[in-house]
Amino acid sequence: MFEDEEDEKEIDIENLPIYKKGKEIFDVVHQIAELIPDDDEQLSDIKGWMLTDAMQLTVKIAGAEDGSLYDIRMEAAAIIRKSARDLILHQHSLKMFGFKNSEYFEIIRELVEEYRLLFIDWVASFNKWDYVIDRWGLFNPPGVGPFDHDPDDDIPFDGFEDFENFE
């Protein structure tokens, strides 16, 4: 019975709206990247960054959905946010280095805005009660600080010595 309950809770990541939108963004970025000449070193570098940033929009969703801890999910969310913002900024670099088709980036801007709205709902769905204290202080749920007492510290455990007498 317990196994069946877990199977019901399992989410098909590829059916999540935010994952689908991330895949759509990657596909469009990939099509634009195909227009960038490989013989220009600067443009080729930007092309690589664009593809990497676009890929993060799905890869990090999949990673976050695979786990449940709040701090891990928030860390993935921060990386996604940075990648999405960098993706928009690549248009300026492409223009600066002479890419002739940078106007196609308006499509990416619109798609990233749609993604951003899905992202807000996705982050709001994180379980704030499923966490370990982030001692760095970046990814704690509201009301939890890096210096808070961890109740797990009160559980007596003497390391492997506890297991020696276990039969």
Average pLDDT over residues 13-35: 97
Give the pLDDT score at 8.
43
Instruction: Note the pLDDT tens digit of each residue in 114-136.
Output: 999 999 999 999 999 999 999 99
Domain that holds residue 16: 2-129
Higher pLDDT, 97 or 157: 97
* Domain annotation covers residue 12: yes
Residues 88 and 109: their CA atoms lie apart, in Å, by 6
Q: Is the pLDDT reported for residue 9 higher than 80?
A: no
Contacts of 116 (CB under 8 A, 6+ apart): 84
- The structural domain count of the chain equals 1
Instruction: Note the pLDDT tens digit of each residue in 28-42.
Output: 999 999 999 889 999
Helix axes 17-33, 105-124, angle to 10 degrees: 160
Contacts of 38 (CB under 8 A, 6+ apart): 44, 47
* Domain annotation covers residue 140: no
Contacts of 52 (CB under 8 A, 6+ apart): 83
Take residue 154 and report the two structure tokens written for it: 């009160």
Q: Are 127 and 75 in contact (CB under 8 A)?
A: no
CATH assignment of the domain containing 30: 1.20.1440.60
* Domain annotation covers residue 108: yes
* Domain annotation covers residue 6: yes
Residues 152 and 134: their CA atoms lie apart, in Å, by 14
The pTM assigned to this predicted structure is: 0.84
Instruction: Note the pLDDT tens digit of each residue in 88-114.
Output: 999 999 999 999 888 888 999 999 999
* Domain annotation covers residue 166: no
* Domain annotation covers residue 72: yes
* Domain annotation covers residue 159: no
* Domain annotation covers residue 100: yes
Closest alpha carbon to 90 in 77, 76, 111, 109: 109
Q: Is the pLDDT reported for residue 157 higher than 70?
A: no
